[in-house]
Amino acid sequence: MNDQTLTAEERAANLKGMGCARKRVEDVRFTQGKGNYVDDIKMDGMLFGDFVRSPYAHARVKSVNKEAALALPGVIAVLTAEDLAPLGLHWMPTLAGDKQMVLADGKVLFQGQEVAFVVAEDRYIAADAAELVDVDYEELPVITDPFESLKSDVVLREDLEGQTEGAHGPRKHHNHIFTWEQGDKDATEAVLAEADVVAEEMVYYHRTHPCPLETCGSVASMDKVTGKLTLYGTFQAPHAIRTVVSLISGIAEHNIRVISPDIGGGFGNKVGAYAGYVCSVVASIVTGKPVKWVEDRMENLMSTAFARDYWMQGKIAATKEGKITGLWCHTTADHGGFDACADPTKFPAGFMNICTGSYDIPMAYLAVDGVYTNKAPGGVAYRCSFRVTEAAYFIERMIEVLAIKLNMDAAELRRINFIKADQFPYQSALGWEYDSGDYHTAWEKALKAVDYDSLRAEQAQRVEDFKAGKTRKVLGIGLTHFTEIVGAGPVKNCDILGLGMFDSCEIRIHPTGSAIARLGTISQGQGHATTFAQIIASEIGLPADDITLEEGDTDTAPYGLGTYGSRSTPVAGAATAMAARKIRAKAQMIAAYLLEVHDNDVEWDVDRFAVKGAPERFKTMKEIAFAAYNQAIPGLEPGLEAVSYYDPPNMTYPFGAYICVMEIDVDTGEWEVRQFYALDDCGTRINPMIIEGQVHGGVTEALAIAMGQEIAYDEMGNIKTGTLMDFFIPTAWETPNYTTDHTVTPSPHHPIGAKGVGESPNVGGVPAFSNAVHDAFRPFGLVQSHMPHDHWRIWKIANNLGMHG
């Protein structure tokens, strides 16, 4: 029998457990077009909704005339705020403690805001009817600049007029949302005052959008016989959505079933609650029929959650030798018309206070002012853990700016200031406890891999050649060492709408030794069905191929807070390991009973329990599973299943070293990434192939953001980049080759030492690309310029530096 002849290594390999580059099991259906997304859901008698949206960024809605629309054959209803008000659903709470109009209640605050919801028998009639709804607007002054907004007499949020206290403390102005302060202001300013050197810059991380391949949508079906509401939707947090729907609709939570089917990318865009979800639910309650709403690409870009839009004023202090002594940051955060950020309650600016980065900075201060403007709401974590991308971009730019001020090599400046391996766990000046890291090792490995000194020599020669008129191309070497903070989070300080940010896993072992596991998370492309099965395989010795994984159905899966902020592996992955260990503990008792020895006389060996000192006497997990269902074991219940709710003791802190080498044509602003090296340390690596895929995807998104992708508005608040003609999504043509690498520094507090990786490449990639652009022009005098670095902005840098003769 195989079990007796195979070595332990061979048996472990057969499990395809942790460390195995196992192929993604999801891809069997995705690559054949057999996925089941929200828009694939068809139900008998299903109706279709479409929005009438505001063409204006700020206007009073004087009247909405539905007559012509209702007269169109096939139109069932046209809902406005007036219709939702009796149900109390014309406004909804946001995840940030603010409230947001579901349908325009007297005014609109951004272009594309939902004004009326048309329900019709088919999608085409709904679109025709939306055209026929006649809305009378009175235009109001538009504010698109957050600094202007804080000075303006124009009141954007009349509903909050007179409220000097917001969800996160005092409001200083009628367009002000909150001030969030971290660190010691006075002590930091004292350090700045006495420092040898202080570098100061405004670092702007522009507004962009997660733009997942699949847009947002929902199908609501109210069964008036059973009183049960079933809601399918593009939800990154299905369980939280169920609770929110119950709280705002008054439908008892047990009568609501929320299902996230296959999701085609989320990147934070699908965390929030949207008007479309609410309207599909209301329309289904009103009509008694299923109602589908799916937004199109333009609606996605203009109305569902944006990301970033942080103006970060920074000061960094250092000794002449380059030892950083203090960091100061004041951020003006443009939140748009409503504060709909998706951050843990106590963190209105997310984890922006990770902005001391990878560096041992003894004193720091951060303040963030949230501001209303006439732009779309959002501020979500676009492939990032709650503003970590903003924080990483800020510190990685400030390091470069300081290096210029000190006339020092930026790689050396980082080396001088890294937190040392023996300083972990490390207490940061802004309140975090970094779990583990070895930055110097990663950094030296990265510099060696790209032959950093040769690159610098080549760059120096290029500068000479440029000045001599031999070339019109400059060379940039973009450095980044980032530290992430992911895995939100410990219930003691992380909740969303009062829901603690633990996560969960339930595992049931079937009699024949296969299993099903259900989690509180939901994959949007991360490959959970592949990787979580690997964790279980390694923990309990059943092959990953024999383990089914389910997520997203609130009637079957245990409660969890969902997938975003790279939290699935740190939190639900931990819950998975813990649930598996409960099963293994029971299996040990079963094995001991079967082997007729004491529980403590058997030991775990890859896929079996064996009698200590007699390895030929064993029971495999498969045998134990069957025994759990057919043996009456004294003192043990039948069956073999477990559930774990995991409250992480700390965040995890993945890190990485990225280096980008870029060629730039100063005459056209065109760029070419010649080399991109990405070293990631995400702790224990569950599936190297999936990690590599995550890094490729994330760096490509970072390339887009740094080099062209933006949500831009004109001064009237019209969105200028509302289609994929202008909103930059790289194709294969624009995507460079990447070299991936890794070090492994496990998390000491995570059951399997894993830290999460999905967002690292976006967090580290953006500063790497941006620093490459800056670095190319550093020898010609550039200190700071703003992203996105599209052709004309790069050309403008060269032009301003007098490089066009």
480 neighbors 658 (Cβ within 8 angstroms)? yes
| Interface region with other proteins, contact rule CB under 8 A, candidates 32-40, 171-179, 306-314, 666-674 | 666-674
Q: Which residue has the tokens 């296959």?
A: 262
Closer of 603 and 734 to other proteins (Cβ): 734
- Phi, psi (5° rounding) for residue 184? -110, 105
Q: Cβ closer to other proteins: 48 or 677?
A: 48
Q: Which amino acid is at 126?
A: A
Binding positions for other proteins, 405-464, rule CB under 8 A = none
384 included as an active-site residue: yes
Task: Give, as ranges, the residues between 784 and 803 that touch other proteins (CB under 8 A).
Answer: 790-792, 795-796, 799
Tokens matching residue 260: 């996230």
- Return the residue of 138, 194, 296, 321 that touches other proteins, per CB under 8 A: 296
Give the residue, chosen from 667, 748, 800, 803, that forms a contact with other proteins under the rule CB under 8 A. 667
Work out how close the CB of 733 gets to other proteins at its nearest, in angstroms, rounded to a whole number. Answer: 4
Closest distance of CB 130 from other proteins, Å = 9
Pure H helices in 141-290: 146-149, 185-194, 238-249, 275-287
Look at phi and psi of residue 312 and say left if phi exceeds 0, alpha if psi is from -120 to 50, else beta. beta
Name which of 598 and 796 has its Cβ closer to other proteins: 796
Closest distance to other proteins from the beta carbon of 744 (Å): 36
44 within 8 A of 219, measured Cβ to Cβ: no
**Torsions phi, psi of 442, nearest 5?**
-60, -40
Q: How far is the CB of 720 from other proteins (least distance, A)?
A: 6
70-129 residues in contact with other proteins (CB under 8 A) are: 123-124, 126-128
Question: In terms of Cα–Cα distance, which of 763, 740, 659 is closest to 693?
Answer: 740
Position 131 contacts other proteins (CB under 8 A): yes
Least separation, in Å, of the C-beta of 668 and other proteins?
6
DSSP state of 652: B
Choosing from 469, 733, 737, 802, the residue that interacts with other proteins (CB under 8 A) is 733
Q: Among 726, 736, 741, 785, indicate the residue that binds other proteins (CB under 8 A).
A: 726
- Residues 33-62 within binding reach of other proteins (CB under 8 A): 50
Q: Nearer Cβ to other proteins, position 40 or 296?
A: 296
Instruction: Print the binding letters for residues 313-332 with other proteins: x by CB under 8 A, - otherwise.
Output: --------------------
CB atoms within 10 A of CB 737: 9
Residue 672 is a binding residue for other proteins (CB under 8 A): no
Question: Is 353 strand, coil or helix?
Answer: helix
CA distance 276 to 295: 8
Least Cβ distance, residue 729 to other proteins (angstroms)? 8
Q: How many CB atoms lie within 10 A of CB 591?
A: 26
Q: Cβ closer to other proteins: 30 or 792?
A: 792
Read off the amino acid at residue 644: S
Q: Which position among 390, 663, 710, 759 bears the catalytic label? A: 759
Nearest to 294 by CA among 277, 278, 308, 313: 277
728 binds other proteins (CB under 8 A): yes
Q: Which of 670, 672, 744, 781 binds other proteins (CB under 8 A)?
A: 670
Closest residue by Cα to residue 80 from 376, 294, 286: 286
Catalytic position from the list 236, 524, 694, 709: 236
> Is 759 marked active-site?
yes
Q: Whole-angstrom Cα distance, residue 604 to residue 427?
A: 37
What is the spatial distance between Cα 135 and Cα 133, in angstroms, rounded to a whole number? 6
- Any idea what DSSP says for residue 24? P
- Contacting other proteins within 582-611 (CB under 8 A): none
Number of residues that bind other proteins (CB under 8 A): 32
Pairing label, strands 114-120, 134-139: unpaired
Residue closer to other proteins by CB (options 590, 797) is: 797
Tell me how far, at minimum, the Cβ of 106 lies from other proteins, in Å: 27
Q: Cβ of residue 146: shortest distance to other proteins, in angstroms?
A: 22
Report DSSP letters for 282-341, one per residue: HHHHHHSS-EEEE--HHHHHHHS-EEEEEEEEEEEEE-TT--EEEEEEEEEEEEESS---
Extract the tokens encoding 168. Answer: 């996160």
Of the candidates 355, 384, 660, 682, the residue annotated as catalytic is 384
Separation between Cα atoms, residue 692 and residue 675, nearest integer Å: 16
Among 68, 712, 783, 803, binds other proteins (CB under 8 A): 712
53, 207, 383, 387: which is the annotated catalytic residue?
Answer: 383
Nearest approach in angstroms of CB 663 to other proteins is 15
State the pairing for strand pair 671-681/197-208: unpaired
> 67 or 131: whose CB is closer to other proteins?
131
Are 62 and 133 in contact by the 8 Å Cβ rule? The answer is no
Give the binding site for other proteins (CB under 8 A): 50, 123-124, 126-128, 131, 296-298, 667-670, 708, 712, 720-721, 725-726, 728, 730-731, 733-734, 790-792, 795-796, 799, 804
**Which residues are the active-site residues?**
236, 383-384, 759
